[in-house]
Structures are given as C-alpha cells and as structure tokens.
Chain A
Amino acid sequence: MASTHSRNGWVVWLTFAVGLLLSVSPLPQFMEILRPLWLALLLAFWSLHLPHRVGMVTAMFLGLAEDVLYGTLLGQNALILTLITFLVLSLQQRLRMFPMWQQCLVILVIFGLAQLVQLWLSALTGNRQPTLALVLPALVSALLWPWISFGLRGLRRRYKIN
C-alpha cells in the first residue's frame, strides 16, 4: 500500500510479533490452560479499527505462523483466525458502536465458537482434548478485551496509524 494511504504500519506488525511471542511464552502449569488467544485479540482489534489494512489474508498468514510454532497441521490455526476475523469484520459496523461490556460479550461468543471449531479440528486430527476447558481461553480473552482495546487505541492515537 502507498504510504499516503497508510502510516506507521510497522507498529501493527510489531504488535503481531509481540503477540506471537506471547503465544509461546512459558507459563506456570496451571495458567497454561488459561492462556489468552493473543493473536486473535490483536486481529480482532486491528480488523475492527483498520479494516482496510488488516483482514482475513493477514489472519491466514498469522495462523500459518502459529501452526508452525505449535506443530499443528499447517492450516488449522489459519482457518480459526480467518473465521474469527471474518466474524469480527461482518459485525464491524455494529461492534464499534457497542459499549465495552457488550463488545466483551460478542468477543466471548466469537472466540468461544472459534475454540469449539478448534476442538473439533484437533479431534479430527487425532489429538483429542479431553474437556470443554478449551473454551476457557475465550473467556480470559474476553475479560482482557477492554485493556487490549484501550491500550491499542492509545498506541494508535500516539503513532497516528491509519
């Protein structure tokens, strides 16, 4: 994209890089099950506020990166993240008008759906996860959404990203 249209795009990519780091950073055993879906959160925010820059193709590439990191089938997380981005994009006009708590609820539902698809996909590939505790990350992510949202909004204003 020409620099007249977009400024400071590198900040967006920097946040994605940090997101990738966070998604593999070591956590204590009991917290691993609660690890938020960092990349999905970042994708949701940026596709909500910069839909012309961050879309489903970006989501797909990030998903492929995550697949390589996690050692899952190439395309599994790509599919999940693409779905999440699609849902956020299709609700974009309404979601931006919602108060924060309502946004949180929508995020919870979207991420929960995505995690269920994840459960289903990993069952297909033979790594059956025993419980529905897999939906917990969606809950944690929804609770983190206000902070992520405020933080990234500040970042966006600071660097005048558009």
Chain B
Amino acid sequence: MGVRLLVLVVLSVALMVVDARFALLKPVRSQMSLVLMQTYWITDLPQRLYQGVASQFGSRTELAAENEKLKTENLLLQGRMQKLAALTEQNVRLRELLNSSALVNEKVEVAELIGMDPNPFTHRIIINKGERDGVVLGQPVLDARGLMGQVVELMPYTSRVLLLTDTTHSIPVQVNRNGLRAIASGTGNPERLELRHVADTADIKEGDLLVSSGLGQRFPAGYPVATVKEVIHDSGQPFAIVRAVPTAALNRSRYLLLVFSDNRTPEERANDAAQAQEAEDKQNGTLPVTPAIVPKPAFVGPPAPANLPAATAPVATPAKPATHSARPAKPAASTTPAAKPPAGAASTTRQREE
C-alpha cells in the first residue's frame, strides 16, 4: 500500500509540475472539461428552471409594466446614442487633424454565467462561451455597467473569468476627470478595489470615476471600472489609501459581454458590411438593389463606443427588423466614408449571432 501511495504521489506531483510549466496537458484538460463542465450546467439547472417558470407565469400587468420600463429605457439609450454618433464622428475628425491613431473598434457578444468558482478565496466565474465560440485567453469581459474581468482559462464550450476583485488581479486605470493614472488591485472583497501607490498629493477625490486606461494592452481603454469611495491621507503612510467600488455588479450580473477588438482595416470592414447586408437582404427576400444602399446605412452605426448597444441589439431578434427599416429613413446624411467601419462591425456581429 505504501508503494502504491508513493507512486501515486510522485505521479500527481509530476502532473502538477508539467501542468504548471508546459502546455503539454492543455488538450487533456480541455477534453476532460468537455464532460466535466456539464456539472456546472446541471447545478445551474434549478435556477434556469425557476426563471423559465417565472416567465411562464408572469402576470400580464407585471409584463406590461416591465415592457413600459424597457421602452422608456430604450428611448433614453437611443437618445443618448444619437448624440454619441455625432460626438464620435467629431472625435474621429479631430483625431485625423491631430494625426493620432484612430480609435480601435470593438464588438461584443453576449455570454451567460453558468457557475461560480467553489473556492471562496478566489473570485472566478464560469461562462457559457469557450474556444469554439472564438473566445481568446485574456479577453476582457463586461457587464452592462462596467468592466468585470478577463478570461483566464479556455475550455471548448466554457471559459473561466477572473474578476477584477480577485486578490491576484490588477488593472491599469485612469481618473476620468483628469486622466491621472493608477493601478487598481483586487482585495478579495467583491465590493472593493484598492489603488496602489497613489501619491498623497495626487488629485483624486471621492466620487471620481475610474476608467480603464488601456495601458496594459489587455483591457480596451475607456470602459468604466470603479468609482472612488474614500481617500484616506495618513501622514504615517508613504502613499494615500484609495478605495473604490467596482461599477459592474460583479456578484450579481448573469449576462455578460465579451469584447472582441476589431482590427480589420476600414476597407475590409466595409466589404464585410456589404456582404452581410446582401446576405440579410437575400434572406428577407427583398430586391437585390442592395449594392447601391450599402454605404448609406453605414453611418447609422456610430463608431467604437456606440456599437456596444448596436451590437447587443441583434441578440433580441425583434430588434432586427426595426434597425433594418430605420436605415433608409436617413440616407441623406451619410457622406463621410469614415463612418463605414462601425456598421461593418455591427452587422458582422449580427452575422455571428445568426
């Protein structure tokens, strides 16, 4: 028995070393996870079942109220988007004037949370999109309110996401008000981040919004990360103690957004957009006049920041015909070719969704 123990212990230690140092065992792990990750799905079933039942038996008044609320919200968001379109347009033009690099476009895809990591000392979650869905290692994850974390482990149909508040996680941020840079580290408390090494005299105060600065080359710039909750100046400490609360609902969000940075050239995007448009029109059985209109709808989808809502829209299928019919209404304004890419981004996401 002792010999068997020795053999097994040596074997598992060897496995650990190999797993830590080399990529040799990654395929084994991903094959095993194919079967084993179903357990998360099964343990999530009661929740799904409850949601299904709740939506079946939701009363009419409740649904009507929810519908009303969503409509108002939609109106507000669309109002905000109109302005965004103009602003991003302006931003692109100003950047061109300054000869600075153009904004990188991003598209997003919706993923659903299927499990939490059982270890209470780490903040990790399991989502239902994996390698086969095009997720990559280190990919940023958002919820509706802000950044949540990044993908740290890929499995074929699921992946593991490390949240911002994990003790091993840090993210480069920027104070939105004045551009002050800092690093926000997780504390192991789902409601708190701490800014490391902020000078005592730095201009940072309670209520400041911290956005991602994009300096780590991992997170895209400009997404909200946290709001500063308190700044403590302790004369005995070399640095100020700055505590912040993540804007994302890290332990409550069920639907998350995966960010894909879109590094195609504008021409490629335009072509993709045209193709997507054609495909859609074929599907809808409309007359093939599309090539002529392709550039027109382009301006509807505003560049980078705005395509967040634009890309989420296709998920709700009823929204599709709406955006489609909305397009011909405003063709007159479409003059700038600079506006092409976003539409491409939006319609390619739609293509992916279908």
A-side residues, CB < 8 A to B, are 20-21, 23-27, 29, 32-33, 35, 55-57, 60, 63-65, 68-71, 73-76, 78-79, 82-83, 86, 89-90, 121, 125-130, 134
Contacts and interface: CB of A to CB of B under 8 A. Distances in A.
A121 B167 CA distance: 17
Given A75-B19, A125-B20, A69 B9 contact: no
Contacts of A90: 1
8 contacts: A26-B115, A55-B4, A68-B29, A69-B36, A76-B12, A82-B12, A89-B1, A130-B121
A70 B118 contact: yes
Contact of B32 (A64, A79, A126): A64
Given A70-B119, A129-B121, A79 B20 contact: no
B16 A76 contact: yes
Contacts of B18: 74
A32 B124 CA distance: 13
Interface string B33-47: 100110110111001
A74 B16 contact: yes
B15 interface: yes
Contacts of B32: 64-65, 68
A23 B33 contact: no
A75 B168 contact: no
| Secondary structure class of chain A's binding surface, majority of residues | helix
Contact of A79 (B1, B9, B152, B168): B9
Interface in B54-89: none
Contacts of A70: 117-119
Interface of B: 1, 4-5, 8-9, 11-16, 18-20, 25, 28-29, 32-33, 36-37, 39-40, 42-44, 47, 115-122, 124, 152-153, 160, 167-168, 188, 251
A129 B123 CA distance: 12
Nearest to A136: B120
A21 B39 CA distance: 6
A71 B153 contact: yes
A106 to B, nearest CB: 18
A60 B8 CA distance: 8
Contact of A29 (B9, B122, B251): B251
A1 to B, nearest CB: 17
A73 B153 CA distance: 12
B25 A74 contact: yes
A89 B5 CA distance: 11
A24 B38 CA distance: 11
Contacts of A121: 16
A23 B15 CA distance: 22
A55 B5 CA distance: 10
Given A24-B40, A57-B4, A134-B121, 8 more contacts: A21-B39, A25-B43, A35-B118, A60-B8, A65-B32, A73-B20, A82-B9, A90-B1
A158 B58 CA distance: 44
Nearest to B8: A82
A20 B43 CA distance: 10
A60 B5 contact: no
A70 B47 CA distance: 21
A69 B39 contact: yes
Nearest to B162: A71
Contacts of B14: 75
A126 B168 contact: yes
Contacts of B25: 74
Given A21-B43, A56-B5, A56-B8, A127 B36 contact: no
A74 B4 CA distance: 19
A82 B15 CA distance: 14
B5 to A, nearest CB: 5
A56 B12 CA distance: 12
Nearest to A80: B12
B39 A71 contact: no
B13 A57 contact: no
B128 to A, nearest CB: 15
Contacts of B117: 70-71
A109 B76 CA distance: 60
